[in-house]
């Protein structure tokens, strides 16, 4: 895909720089990497910083057309990314941390509230088709790279934790069948709903709060020091996925979606119920047995995931209840 449209001074400078060769005379052409005050003062959850961070991370995934692959490991770009990450991670540690015990953090996820009010509840009970399509467009940035950020943690695990994590990832990647890769199933869901299933197609349309959800996965996956938080994040995803997937499958049926769309979520109802047990007892338990000092990091991964997902859900529901689109660029 092409580079996205900038959303501010930081992302603008980054996008301008990436069209040149890394290490070249960028300043003579009016393009330099962002730095200084613009980085220090950027809103850690705002559009500008989150888009810039997303662009930096995307160089480790599929990249952008017209951008030299050598940018992925360019030292100056990595310094810029590090400054962006510090702003984001410091904010998350300050705003999201509520537990230091992973058992306490996880236990709060295991009971579904009787009066749930999240996006999946809204779409199941009263959402309209345009709202469902918007939600899927937002989530496409996450789901079209489903399980990719978590793969980076595998070399950082050992023994049972590594084996259990690899087993879950094997399922996410279709258990050896290309047409069953979960990202491909989500692309089929999008096509069924008349959405463009191209990777990152809705990057310009989605909100900073959705970018933050995806950026956190990349941040935790790319840093060995954050391996405990990545495991806590992944446990949260698997624990909360099954009931939410059931609600979304019901929403899709109520709104007349086809079987390809419904199948993505019905597949996750059963699969993620199993994955939850594997991650909790196979990955977390064994990791903390080997490295008990990571307990607070695991709890932080749970807290940060809940925090960012709740912020995203609150924003989407607020705009819908006001009769407005939740996307920057309406479908």
Q: Is a pLDDT exceeding 80 seen at residue 160?
A: yes
**Average pLDDT in the 300-321 region?**
97
pLDDT of amino acid 111: 79
pLDDT of amino acid 272: 65
Q: What contacts 131, CB < 8 A, 6 or more positions away?
A: 122, 123, 320, 326
Kindly indicate the confidence band of residue 29, based on its pLDDT and cuts at 50, 70 and 90: very low
Give pLDDT tens digits for 100-156.
999 999 988 887 777 788 999 999 999 999 999 999 999 999 999 999 999 999 999
Alpha carbon distance 170, 278 (integer Å): 13
Q: Tell me which residue of 162, 167, 104 sits closest to 302, measured CA to CA.
A: 104
**Average pLDDT in the 12-38 region?**
77
For the chain, give the longest Cα–Cα distance: 61
Note whether 234 and 169 are within 8 A (CB): no
| Residue-averaged pLDDT of the chain | 93
The four Cα atoms 14, 15, 18, 24 give a dihedral, to 10 degrees, of -60
When mean pLDDT is compared over 35-49, 101-115, 287-301, the highest value belongs to 287-301
Distance of CA 27 to the CA centre of its chain: 33
Kindly indicate the confidence band of residue 24, based on its pLDDT and cuts at 50, 70 and 90: low
Structure tokens that stand for 17 in this block: 């720089």
Lowest-confidence pick of 79-83, 159-163, 236-240, 291-295: 236-240
pTM: 0.95
Alpha carbon distance 204, 291 (integer Å): 40
Q: Is a pLDDT exceeding 90 seen at residue 299?
A: yes
| Residue 305 backbone phi and psi in degrees, to 5 | -65, -45
Share of the chain above pLDDT 70, in %: 97
Structure tokens that stand for 94 in this block: 């300050």
pLDDT of amino acid 69: 95
pLDDT of amino acid 27: 46
Note whether 87 and 49 are within 8 A (CB): yes
Distance of CA 44 to the CA centre of its chain: 16
Alpha carbon distance 32, 68 (integer Å): 16
Alpha carbon distance 284, 294 (integer Å): 10
Q: Is a pLDDT exceeding 70 seen at residue 234?
A: yes
Measured between its terminal Cα atoms, the distance across the chain in Å is 18
Structure tokens that stand for 331 in this block: 């479908």
Q: Is a pLDDT exceeding 60 seen at residue 30?
A: no
Q: What contacts 234, CB < 8 A, 6 or more positions away?
A: 150, 153, 165, 168, 279, 283, 301
Give pLDDT tens digits for 52-95.
999 999 999 999 999 999 999 999 999 999 999 999 999 999 99
SS (H, E, C) 13-82: HHHHHHCCCCCCCHHHHCCCCCCCHHHHCCCCCCHHHHHHHHHHHHCCCCCCCCCCHHHHHCHHHHHHHH
Q: For the packed helices 9-18 and 75-96, what is the interaxial angle rounded to 10 degrees?
A: 150
pLDDT of amino acid 28: 40
pLDDT of amino acid 37: 84
Neighbours of 307 (CB within 10 A): 18
Give pLDDT tens digits for 237-247.
998 888 999 99
Q: Say whether 297 sits in a helix, a strand or coil.
A: helix
Alpha carbon distance 181, 227 (integer Å): 24
Neighbours of 69 (CB within 10 A): 9
- HSE of 98, CA atoms in CB hemisphere, 13 A: 12
């Amino acid at each position: 895909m092409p580079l996205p449209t900038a959303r501010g001074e930081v992302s603008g400078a980054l996008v301008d720089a990436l069209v040149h060769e890394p290490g070249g005379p960028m300043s003579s052409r009016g393009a330099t990497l962002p730095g200084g005050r613009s980085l220090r003062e950027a809103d850690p959850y705002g559009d500008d910083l989150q888009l810039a961070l997303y662009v930096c991370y995307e160089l480790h995934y599929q990249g952008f057309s017209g951008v030299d692959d050598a940018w992925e490991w360019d030292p100056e770009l990595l310094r810029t990314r590090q400054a962006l990450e510090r702003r984001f991670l410091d904010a998350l540690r300050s705003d999201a941390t509520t537990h230091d015990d992973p058992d306490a953090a996880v236990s709060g996820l295991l009971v579904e509230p009787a009066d749930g009010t999240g996006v999946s509840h809204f779409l199941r009970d009263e959402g309209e088709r345009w709202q469902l399509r918007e939600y899927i467009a937002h989530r496409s940035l996450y789901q079209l790279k489903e399980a990719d950020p978590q793969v980076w943690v595998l070399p950082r695990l050992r023994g049972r934790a590594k084996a259990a994590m690899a087993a879950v990832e094997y399922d996410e990647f279709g258990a050896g069948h290309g047409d069953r890769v979960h990202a491909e199933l989500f692309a089929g869901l999008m096509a069924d709903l008349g959405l463009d299933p191209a990777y990152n197609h809705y990057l310009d349309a989605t909100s900073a709060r959705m970018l933050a959800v995806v950026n956190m996965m990349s941040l935790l996956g790319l840093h060995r020091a954050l391996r405990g938080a990545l495991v806590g994040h992944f446990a949260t995803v698997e624990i909360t996925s099954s009931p939410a997937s059931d609600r979304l499958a019901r929403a899709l049926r109520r709104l007349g979606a086809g079987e390809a769309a419904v199948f993505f979520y019905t597949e996750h109802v059963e699969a993620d119920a199993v994955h939850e047990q594997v991650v909790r007892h196979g990955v977390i338990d064994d990791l903390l047995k080997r490295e008990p000092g990571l307990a607070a990091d695991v709890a932080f991964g749970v807290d940060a995931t809940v925090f960012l997902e709740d912020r995203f859900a609150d924003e989407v529901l607020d705009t819908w209840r006001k009769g407005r689109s939740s996307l920057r660029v309406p479908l």
